[in-house]
A and B are shown apart, each in its own frame.
Chain A
Amino acid sequence: EPEVTQTPSHQVTQMGQEVILRCVPISNHLYFYWYRQILGQKVEFLVSFYNNEISEKSEIFDDQFSVERPDGSNFTLKIRSTKLEDSAMYFCASSDGGAWETQYFGPGTRLLVL
């Protein structure tokens, strides 16, 4: 069964450093998402992406964050200058429809900012 994959599974970085989290969505999906989950808290929506542009973003997704689909298969989340509070599990998701359809999640990247 097709699945969303994410790399790396774990990343440790120093505060102020840039990180890029990578995702390979399910191949025929057109809608892509990033979520994060701070330890012990709920999963929070960050951004949705369709047709090579951001379709919606939350208040968490400030100027330090950016997303890109650099080629036909990858979908990346970049954090320009990491803060301690960016430490979280980051999940990528994809769906083959927009509203109304199931989102399939990747296994997540655990980011630790020191």
Chain B
Amino acid sequence: SQQGEEDPQALSIQEGENATMNCSYKTSINNLQWYRQNSGRGLVHLILIRSNEREKHSGRLRVTLDTSKKSSSLLITASRAADTASYFCATDSSYYGGYQKVTFGIGTKLQVIP
């Protein structure tokens, strides 16, 4: 079984629409992070949500976390062509006080059509 599986694997929307990506995981976590990766480039950290948080906002981003369902969603509102990228969730399930080991999902490829 794989930790941090995103769906859909690919998403194509028109500029101005909202994009929702989901992430499911299997083991309990300390936190969950969302990253963006433009084609062939580095990973840009978007938002971290801790296991005791349910929702977090950052600009046009809204992340929710449902630990009972072991799932998270990333909503990008009013999408722009520049949002075109792959989006990954990454879970940290290391023991408290231990060293972080982040596990990435396979990602959602988002295409925003101008």
Contacts and interface: CB of A to CB of B under 8 A. Distances in A.
Interface of A: 31, 33, 35, 41-45, 48, 50, 55-56, 89, 91, 93, 95, 97-108, 110
Given A42-B107, A50-B99, A101-B48, 5 more contacts: A97-B100, A99-B92, A99-B99, A105-B43, A108-B41
Contacts, number: 75
Interface in B55-114: 88, 90, 92, 94-107
A99 B104 contact: no
B43 to A, nearest CB: 4
Given A42-B106, A91-B42, A108-B41, A103 B97 contact: no
A44 B102 CA distance: 9
> Which of the four size classes fits the interface of chain B?
20 to 34
Interface in B22-72: 30-31, 33, 35, 40-45, 48, 50
A111 to B, nearest CB: 13
Contact of A105 (B31, B42, B95, B98): B42
A102 B42 contact: no
A42 B106 CA distance: 5
A105 B37 CA distance: 11
Nearest to A110: B40
Nearest to A102: B48
Contact of A56 (B45, B50, B96, B101): B101
A111 B72 CA distance: 33
Contact of A99 (B42, B43, B44, B96): B96
Contact of B42 (A44, A101, A106): A106
A56 B93 CA distance: 13
